[in-house]
């Protein structure tokens, strides 16, 4: 049974949680349903440059599933913001491409912080990879910093976010499609596992229900102990 509680912080995974497809894997090797053609990239600069070369509206909408799904995400994220709930991202992918993808579909505005990886965390550049940082132009602003990349586990990130905001277990909600990540963070805050196709109508309705239920009974912002929407 769910237990209603005040919600002040939501931490989202990115790949296959906010996005409908695994963007990091697509940029790394192309073996996903997005079917990106070579060249691929293994570093943050390389992936950001490759994404910039592919960033027409149709591809970016495909990353998030569809225009309708982007509108759904924007709607629920806006409702969370209006309710005073802070939204943060914690991804094992690179910060740069994540910020670029979110900006292209006008979702970056809803997130106060994005934790992820930077530099060459996943190995040396591939042979055809463009790692010229000057070639990024204005997209250099999307690159991550050490402040948001020097972590090992998502549990560590969530715990740090709670401590700095002086929040407790019941004040935050963590969403991820990976059951291992959900299980690991479940000792730190409330968790919600979403389908591997990402946040859907059901998950958004769940989040909206938390906001409405608590507002109608106590005037406080809500959360829930644990749920699984797979």
DSSP 62-78: HHTS-HHHHHHHHHHHH
As a whole number, the mean pLDDT across the chain is: 90
Give the confidence band of 5 by pLDDT, cuts at 50, 70, 90: low
d(CA 49, CA 59): 15
* Tokens read off for 169: 């277990």
- Check: pTM over 0.95? Answer yes or no: no
Flag whether pLDDT at 4 surpasses 60.
Answer: no
**Helices and strands (DSSP H and E) totals, the chain:** 8, 8
CATH number of 5-228: 3.40.50.1000
pLDDT of res. 219: 56
* Tokens read off for 202: 């059901």
Percent of the residues in the chain that have a pLDDT greater than 90, as a whole number:
78
How large is the average pLDDT for residues 217-230? Answer: 44
pLDDT digits (tens, 9 = 90+) for 41-51: 999 999 999 99
* Tokens read off for 115: 């934790």
Rama region for 84: left / alpha / beta (φ>0; ψ in -120 to 50; rest): left
Q: Where are the domains of the chain?
A: 5-228
Which sign, positive or negative, has the C-alpha torsion 217, 173, 145, 118?
negative
How large is the average pLDDT for residues 11-39? Answer: 96
Flag whether pLDDT at 121 surpasses 80.
Answer: yes
Contacts of 222 (CB under 8 A, 6+ apart): 4, 5, 6, 7, 210, 211, 213, 214, 215
Higher pLDDT, 34 or 55: 34
User: With contact defined as beta carbons under 8 Å apart, do 75 and 199 qualify?
Assistant: no
Question: Which residue shows structure tokens 């569809």?
Answer: 66
d(CA 102, CA 125): 24
pLDDT digits (tens, 9 = 90+) for 54-113: 878 899 999 999 999 999 999 999 999 999 999 999 999 999 999 999 999 999 999 999
């Amino acid at each position: 049974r769910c237990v209603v509680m005040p919600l002040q912080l939501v931490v989202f995974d990115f790949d296959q949680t906010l996005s409908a497809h695994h963007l990091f894997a697509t940029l790394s090797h192309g073996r996903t349903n997005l079917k990106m053609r070579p060249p691929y990239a293994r570093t943050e600069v390389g992936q950001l440059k490759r994404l910039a070369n592919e960033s027409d509206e149709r591809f970016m909408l495909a990353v998030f599933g569809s225009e309708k799904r982007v509108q759904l995400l924007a709607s629920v994220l806006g409702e969370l913001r209006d309710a005073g709930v802070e939204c943060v991202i914690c991804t094992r992918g690179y910060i740069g491409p994540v910020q670029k993808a979110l900006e292209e579909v006008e979702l970056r505005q809803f997130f106060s912080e994005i934790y992820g990886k930077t530099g060459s965390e996943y190995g040396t550049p591939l042979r055809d990879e463009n790692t010229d940082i000057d070639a990024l132009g204005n997209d250099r602003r999307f690159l991550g910093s050490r402040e948001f990349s020097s972590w090992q586990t998502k549990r560590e990130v969530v715990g740090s976010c709670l401590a700095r905001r002086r929040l407790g277990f019941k004040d935050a909600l963590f969403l991820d499609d990976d059951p291992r990540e959900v299980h690991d963070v479940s000792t730190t805050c409330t968790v919600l596992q979403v389908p591997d196709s990402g946040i859907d109508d059901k998950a958004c309705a769940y989040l909206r229900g938390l906001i409405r239920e608590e507002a109608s009974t106590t005037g406080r912002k809500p959360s829930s102990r644990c749920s699984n929407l797979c």
